Structure 1
Amino acid sequence: MTLVFRGFGGPTVSFSLGGRTFLTDPTFDPAGRYPIGDRELTKTAESRGTPADAAPVDVVLLSHDQHPDNLDRAGREFALTVPLLLTTPDGADRLGPPARGLAPWEALTLPGSDVVVTAVPAQHGPAGTEHLTGPVTGFVLHGPDLPTVYVSGDNASLDVVRAIAARFSSVDVAVLFGGAARTPLVGDVNLTLSAADMVEATRLLGAPTVVPAHIDSWAHFTEGLDDVRAAFTAAGLADRLHVPVAAA
């Protein structure tokens, strides 16, 4: 089965698996400055598609709801119209229906489908900063005669990737959120995977296909697609990198 991934910019990617269409971290707002507490994040590029371009979507996979580069106003409005939104338990409490929270390693078989969605850990920064960044989740989608798809969410920890690789012996596609994001909140450390980390995650998972996401459109990213391409080429893994096709 060949999966097609459509990119909307930032962390927003759609794909179909087992008769269901999934959308990751919906972000559709225009470029501009977006407040987050007493700080702000700057979106530097327009989204490459609209909610109408994404529809119809059966399931939203939301790594977390507390940061505007992962769920913005238009993304939130769209996500709440989708039949099912999977995210962290805290996020589901804040968002309300149709959001459902999954704890780490909790699995859900989608109604009327063979697709099983398992929530997996994610660490949005170095150890000890969880109280600053808030809870985040990743997802593994799997099922009989289906490719296994890992969606990392905003994760910066290779130890987390090792734990996931230990649970799932075969990962066919890894959707890796990268960009080596940095903000003054945690200082001079990465909040998401660097390009080098994405290469190592690919090796740990043994994934033959890697879809890069969340590597553009925001000023707090310190790396972009060129850095990812260079890292995978230097590692001899360029053939595994599959950039999402433009959504619109």
Structure 2
Amino acid sequence: FNVLGLHEFDSDRKRMSVIVGCPDNTVKLFVKGADSSMFGAIDKSMDLDVINATEAQLHGYSSLGLRTLVVAVRELNASEFERWQSDYERASTALMGRGSLLRSVAANVESNLTLLGASAIEDKLQEGVPEAIESLRQAGIKVWVLTGDKQETAISIGYSSKLLTENMTQIIITSHSRQSCRKSLDDAKALFKKSTGNGMRQPSVGAQNFKPDPQTGLHPVPSVDDKTLIDGGFDYKKPLALIIDGTSLVYILESDMEYE
């Protein structure tokens, strides 16, 4: 295999790719990245059953706290490769806006992909991390974690690291628009105002849902919807865990909601 080009990972695309010359004289683009960015680049004519099955497997992996990646490929014909090569050379030698130009070239070629599959690995916590976080919590120190993991993975790792515990109330804000984010934030504030001290409403989810998998030791993530969070019974002694996905966090930080 002959490596002909490389598009490095960046936080906008959430993926990376490499273009290689293969022994059969074909040129192929291999791409790996987060499922949130990869599925939008998959060829629309691809079998939906394969895509749905892969998404289901990814959800299962993430719920066990595993780090996931989606892998896809695209074969480039001679004209497509020549066009990419010309655009890539022009972008990589630009004196102004080089990063933006390279991202644009990558986005153009990383399209109409064929899904190859998904991978999942366990990234074990360093020794002493759960105990250190537990000590911080017991000392009354609020701990915030910013992660690029899928939400299910982040929650599962939160339990494994003792950042989240079985007796915590989770308020999860997952929004796809500024308006829905505003509503979710208002609902969270309303719950907080009805609480006393650190107490919040406790979702009606049994503690057994949080028990670790006996084989992996990882915590499966319970399914809790907004209605459960809002309409569940009160338990004023429960501590609070606020979980915000990346899209919602962008809406919050780019508006007056940041100060709420």
TM-score between both structures, scaled by the size of structure 1: 0.23
**Higher-helix-fraction structure:** 2
From the CA coordinates, give the structure whose radius of gyration is larger: 2
